[in-house]
Copies of this chain bind each other. A is one copy, B any other.
Amino acid sequence: MNYQKIIEKLHHDVNTIPDEGVVASYIPALKKVDSTKFGVSLCTITNECFGEGNFEEKFSIQSISKVFGLTLALKLIGTKLWNRVDVEPSGDPFNSLVQLEFEKGIPRNPLINSGALVVCDVLISELENPKKELLQFVQKLANNKNINYNLEVMQSETKHGFKNAAHVNLMKSFNNINNNVDEVLDLYYHMCSLEMTCLELSNAFLIFANGGKLLHNNEQIITARISKRINATILTCGLYDEAGEFAFRVGLPGKSGVGGGIVAIHPNNYVITVWSPKLNAKGNSFKGMNFLEKFTTETASSIF
C-alpha cells in the first residue's frame, strides 16, 4: 500500500474541512501554540516511516504519555498493578470524582487522570530517580535521546492543577496512594509535559504493534501478552468519553492528548500519529479524528 500517497491526499482533504475545534486554553503554555499546525506520521513494523505536514515538530503529548507510564509500571510490578486500578471505561463525562469516591479510591482505568496518578505513585515506589528513569524509558522506546520534559508546561500545569490535587488526595484518603501527594503530582506533571514529534511518537509506540519488541534491536520490552492487553485498554479507555465513538468510527486502539495529538495502533502492522491542536467538544483533536476515520476507511485497516 502506498501509505505516503494516501497520507498526503487525506492530509490535503482534511485541511479543506472547516476546523470546528478550539485550542485547549486551561494553561497559557498550551494556548499559545499555532493552531494551524497539522502533522501526520506513520511507521510500519517493516521499518518504513512516512509523514506529511508538521510531523517533525515537537508538541506537548500530554495524556498520550500515560501509555508510557502504564507500560513502565507493568514492566516493574506486573499484574499487581490491577489491584490498585481497574481496566473499565470510565463512562460518565461528568463524574471523574464521583466514580472515584463511589469505588473507594480505585480509578476506573490507568488512562484517566486518577489512574495515571496511581501509576506515578507506583513509579515513585519502584524507581530510584523516577523522573529521570521514565524519561530514559521513553527515549529508549523512541530510540531517540532528543526527547525531554517541557518545564514551562510542567510548571503551568502545577499552578492550575487543583482538580488533580483533589483526585490524589481523595485516593490517599482511601489509602491508594503510598507516597507524598506533592511528589506524585510532580512526577505526573513532568510526564504530561513530555514533548515529541509525530514521527517520534509513531516510533515509540511501535512496540505495541510489534508484540512488545523494539524494532531496531528486537529487545523484548514487555511480553506479547502484555502488549495485547495494553492495546485492549487503549481501545476501551484511550479517548476519554469518546472511546466508543473512536472505536466505532476509526476502529483502532487510540490514545489522545489535549495538546491535539492522537496515536493509533494497528497491531502487527503500523502506528499512525496525527497532530492538530484544535479539539472537539470531547477534548480530542478535530482534524485528528477526521483524518483517522478517513485513513482506516481508505486503507480498510480497522481491526473489526
Contacts and interface: CB of A to CB of B under 8 A. Distances in A.
Contacts of A163: 169-170, 173
Interface stretch (A9-17, A35-43, A147-155, A229-237): A229-237
Interface residues of A, number: 52
Contacts of A219: none
A181 interface: yes
A228 interface: yes
B228 A251 contact: yes
B87 A92 contact: no
Interface stretch (A136-144, A186-194, A241-249, A270-278): A241-249
Contact of A91 (B108, B231, B235, B242): B108
A89 B236 CA distance: 8
B173 A169 contact: no
Contacts of A87: 244-245, 248
Contact of A88 (B91, B102, B109): B91
A177 to B, nearest CB: 8
Across the A-B interface, give the 8 residue pairs with the lowest CB-CB distance, nearest first: A91-B91, A89-B89, A231-B304, A162-B173, A165-B169, A88-B244, A166-B170, A166-B169
